[in-house]
Structure 1
Amino acid sequence: MLGALIESLGMIVITVPLLAPVLSGYGIDPVWFGVVVVMFIEMGQITPPIGINLFVIQSISKGSITEVVQGTIPFHLIMFVLLALLMVFPQIALWLPTRMIG
């Protein structure tokens, strides 16, 4: 919802300081939270009416904004599926960082 109204840095500044203390109290992994936040931010970047990437793509493609928005529908669906998988299987986001610890 924030992605439709403000840009990505603003979303991070608003959400992370408010949610990080609460999440640590519930034992939620901060790496997983970071991955989920970035996924939501990227989804917000292609969500009308303010999705910044929509205007960039529209200016490059020289198509109408309606065509660009319709073209993002498959990407929204893929991101929803990926977010659902991350919610059900958080190990997807945590696999690589656990391999790097040592």
Structure 2
Amino acid sequence: MEARYFHELLISVFRAARITPVFSQYLSQVHSILALVNGGWGVALVPETAALLRYAGVVFRPVRLSAPAPVELTLAWRTNNHNPALSALLEHL
């Protein structure tokens, strides 16, 4: 399953609220998710940055979690990448 972290986060939020959602679609691409919402196929919890896509007719509202879990990120690059920006980033991390 793609975006497993976010899926598990959402499931834990629903579980804590004693809500059992009915899922009709499992999607990982934000554009596809918003297209279904725009088409009247329900609602979706999406990353805040999805609002930057500005779908006409789709309303975005922030969701406040009581204690959000940290997001784990991984940096990936090609082994033969000699871009100075990569070197600077690696030094910073």
Higher relative contact order (CA 8 A, sep 6+): 1
Query: Shorter-normalised TM-score: what interval?
Result: under 0.3
Larger of the two Rg values belongs to structure: 2
Q: When the two structures are superposed, what TM-score results if normalisation uses the length of structure 2? A: 0.26
Q: When the two structures are superposed, what TM-score results if normalisation uses the length of structure 1? A: 0.24
